[in-house]
């Protein structure tokens, strides 16, 4: 296999990697959205609605809700960081693809100059 063919194979591999990352990012984004929507409904749920929740039970339920919301918000923030990391990795892979194309151009120019001689 020539260097040029090897570079084209490398580009194909990079593109497969990008495709996999984009699929994972899409799935993560969907799950993030679902969890965020549920979390928002939990935040706005009225604990005082029923008579059974008066007093200590209401206070205890509110403390649990705050803890759940805090933990969920932390996880959601970390999920956004993961999505940003995936985006950065895709950018780096795209830069590697550009470098492969540049190297291919150089090799083809070198081949062309050798054929002209």
| Segment 63-85, tens digit of pLDDT | 888 888 899 999 999 999 999 99
pTM of the predicted protein model: 0.78
Percent of the chain exceeding pLDDT 70 equals 88
H/E stretch holding 90 reads: helix 56-116
Q: Tokens representing 83? A: 């999505």
H/E stretch holding 28 reads: helix 3-43
Q: What is the pLDDT of residue 51?
A: 57
Q: What is the pLDDT of residues 27-51, one digit of tens each?
A: 999 999 999 988 888 777 766 655 5
């Amino acid at each position: 296999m020539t260097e040029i063919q090897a570079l084209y194979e490398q580009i194909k591999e990079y593109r497969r990697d990008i495709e996999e990352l984009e699929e994972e990012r899409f799935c993560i984004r969907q799950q993030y959205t679902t969890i965020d929507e549920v979390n928002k409904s939990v935040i706005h749920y009225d604990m005082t609605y029923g008579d059974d929740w008066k007093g200590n039970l209401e206070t205890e339920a509110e403390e649990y809700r705050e803890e759940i919301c805090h933990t969920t918000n932390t996880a959601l923030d970390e999920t956004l960081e993961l999505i940003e990391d995936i985006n950065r990795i895709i950018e780096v892979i795209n830069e590697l693809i550009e470098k492969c194309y540049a190297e291919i151009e150089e090799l083809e120019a070198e081949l062309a100059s050798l054929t002209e001689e």
